[in-house]
């Protein structure tokens, strides 16, 4: 397992950005504990529907606030009060901002030092996303916009879980520059290829004939920050979006989710349309699983033995470093990579790609 320091990523152990931390429906049965960024969190939905993310451990005696399914206040549905949560051990109550505002057996003022940290979260795309910043700064960009998520003609899948990877997410990002794995790994060698960097966004445009499905595949893929990949795809006549979200668990260990949404041919999708969308998702998942299996078994590529036609790996790694260094330095990384980059072996995108982008 290789760490952020092994990859020489910068000052921080974990990157800045928006990251998926749970599927929304995981909160249906009450609070859950999650672990990301080397930290334990309590995640729950308050009475108003608001999602709250707090540091996990109660200031009183260190109890994990979200990891009791058997305490009396939990089984009697008394743990959540409005948008606040009570610790299952002695019932101290925490506001969504993380302040202790009630101790059931003590009338005096609640200790200010009992406050635990609360984090910015957003619910979108059937998932919960947190803003993670090692400097404690507020978000400087939004989640990627996929407006068709709310369009009934577009069929939304649920998230696929392939498990956790003992691999640094750097190597997931490397995939964006990796034109020459598309043939051997995915059976769809690309015919054109382009990477583009624009500050915190990293694009890939590529297309080629897919051997297994006998159809032409055109994709516009982009990372919004280091954790959220969205790919707009046209496969033969079918349009879809694929999501691949990665979130560090510990240094050198990452969790990844996969999802797919596709446009039904009918404005009101039929049962057949839904079945076809499910098949499309399975196909996309199978393709992602091809990468995932390789990642699950590889040794770390701290240095890539790149041939002279694989220069984009180097640029992708520079782009990724901006998130491991103070935000004030991000401009230095943008200056080094911003713009379009091509490979000597493959032509840049043509009309097909422009059509997809429109
Ligand atoms: S440990 Fe949380 S209230 Fe006592
Ligand atoms: Fe891949």
| 243: confidence class by pLDDT, cuts 50, 70, 90 | very high
Arithmetic mean of pLDDT over the chain: 95
Q: For atom 1 of ligand 1, which residue has the closest CA?
A: 61
> Is residue 207 within 8 Å of residue 218, measured between CB atoms?
yes
Distance 148 CA to ligand 2 centre (A): 24
**Average pLDDT of 296-314?**
92
CATH numbers and ranges of domains, the chain: 17-132 (2.102.10.10), 147-357 (3.90.380.10)
Residues with CB under 6 A from ligand 1: 58, 60-61, 63, 87, 89-92
Substitution site in 58, 64, 94, 105 for ligand 1 pocket (most atoms within 8 Å of beta carbon): 58
Token pair listed for 7: 């990859």
pLDDT surpasses 90 at 212: no
The per-residue pLDDT for 7 is 98
Per-residue pLDDT, 4: 98
Query: Of 20, 45, 19, nearest to 32 (Cα)?
Result: 45
Beta-carbon neighbours within 5 Å of ion ligand 2: 175, 291
- Look-up of token digits 């003022």: 109
Confidence of residue 351 (pLDDT cuts 50, 70, 90): confident
Phi, psi of 84 (to 5 degrees): -95, 165
Where helices occur in the chain by DSSP H, the ranges are 72-75, 170-173, 271-297, 312-321, 330-337, 351-357
Question: Looking at residue 236, what is its pLDDT?
Answer: 82
Residue that has been written with the tokens 């964006």 in this structure:
176
Q: What is the DSSP letter of 64?
A: B
Check residue 117 and give its pLDDT: 98
Going by C-beta distance under 8 Å and a sequence separation of 6 or more, which residues neighbour residue 248?
Answer: 14, 15, 19, 36, 37, 38, 169, 254
Phi/psi-derived region of residue 339, left when phi > 0, alpha when psi is between -120 and 50, beta in every other case:
left
Residue 353, SS3 per DSSP: helix
First-last CA distance in the chain: 41
Q: Record the tokens describing residue 12, joined without a space.
A: 């921080």
The number of residues in the chain equals 358
CA–CA distance, 21 with 175 (Å, rounded to integer): 22
- pLDDT mean over 309-323: 93
pLDDT in tens, 75-127: 999 999 999 999 999 999 999 999 999 999 999 899 999 999 999 999 999 99
CA distance 196 to 103: 54
**Is beta strand 17-23 parallel, antiparallel or unpaired with respect to 127-132?**
antiparallel
pLDDT computed for residue 52 by the predictor? 98
Hunting for tokens 């929304």 — which residue is that?
Answer: 24
Per-residue pLDDT averaged across 327-343, rounded?
Answer: 97
* Burial status of residue 212 (CB atoms within 10 A of its CB: 0-12, 13-18, 19 or more): exposed
Nearby residues of 162 by Cβ (< 8 Å), 6 or more positions away: 256, 258, 288, 289, 292
Res 355 pLDDT > 90: no
Give the mutation target among 42, 55, 60 for probing the ligand 1 site: most ligand atoms within 8 A of CB: 60
Tell me the pLDDT tens digit for each residue of 185-211: 998 899 999 999 999 999 999 999 887
Give, as one character, the DSSP assignment of residue 57: B
**pLDDT tens by residue, 1-24:** 899 999 999 999 999 999 999 999
pLDDT exceeds cutoff 90 at 69? yes
Residue 309 is predicted with a pLDDT of: 85
Smallest-distance ligand from the CA of 174: 2
- With 80 as the cut, is the pLDDT of residue 356 above it? no
Cα 61 to averaged position of ligand 1 atoms, centre (Å):
5
Ligand nearest to the CA of 66: 1
Q: What is the pLDDT of residues 165-191, one digit of tens each?
A: 999 999 999 999 999 999 999 988 999
pLDDT band at 354 (very low <50, low <70, confident <90, very high): confident
Nearest-ligand number for the alpha carbon of 60: 1
């Amino acid at each position: 397992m290789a760490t952020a320091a092994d990859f020489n990523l910068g000052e921080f152990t974990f990157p800045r950005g928006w990251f998926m931390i749970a599927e929304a429906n995981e909160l249906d049965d009450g609070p859950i504990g999650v672990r990301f960024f080397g930290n334990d969190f309590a995640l729950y939905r308050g009475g108003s529907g608001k999602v709250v993310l707090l540091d996990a451990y109660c200031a009183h005696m260190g109890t994990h606030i979200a990891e009791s399914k058997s305490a009396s206040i939990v089984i009697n549905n008394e743990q959540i009060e409005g948008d606040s949560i009570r610790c299952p051990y002695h019932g101290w109550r925490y506001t969504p901002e993380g302040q202790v505002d009630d101790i059931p057996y003590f009338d005096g003022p609640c200790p200010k030092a009992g406050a635990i940290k609360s984090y910015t979260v957003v619910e979108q795309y059937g998932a919960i996303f947190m803003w993670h910043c090692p400097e404690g700064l507020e978000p400087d960009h939004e989640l990627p916009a996929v407006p068709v998520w709310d369009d009934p003609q577009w069929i939304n899948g649920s998230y696929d879980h392939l498990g956790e990877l003992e691999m640094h997410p750097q190597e997931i990002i490397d995939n964006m520059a990796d034109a020459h794995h598309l043939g051997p790994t995915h059976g769809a060698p690309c015919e054109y290829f382009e990477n583009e960097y624009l500050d915190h966004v990293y694009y890939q445009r590529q297309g080629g004939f897919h051997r297994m499905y006998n159809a032409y595949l055109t994709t516009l893929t982009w990372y919004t920050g280091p954790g959220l990949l969205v790919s707009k795809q046209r496969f033969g006549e079918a349009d879809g979006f694929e999501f691949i979200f990665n979130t560090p668990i510990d240094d050198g260990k990452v969790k990844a989710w996969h999802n797919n949404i596709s446009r039904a041919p009918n404005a009101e999708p039929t049962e057949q349309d839904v079945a076809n969308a499910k098949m499309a998702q399975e196909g996309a998942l199978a393709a992602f699983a091809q990468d995932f299996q390789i990642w699950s078994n590889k040794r770390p590529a701290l240095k890539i033995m790149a041939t002279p036609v694989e220069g984009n790996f180097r640029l992708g790694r520079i782009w990724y470093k901006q998130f491991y260094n103070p935000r004030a330095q991000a401009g230095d990384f943008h200056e080094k990579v911003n713009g379009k980059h091509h490979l000597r072996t493959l032509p840049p995108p043509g009309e097909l790609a422009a059509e997809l982008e429109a």
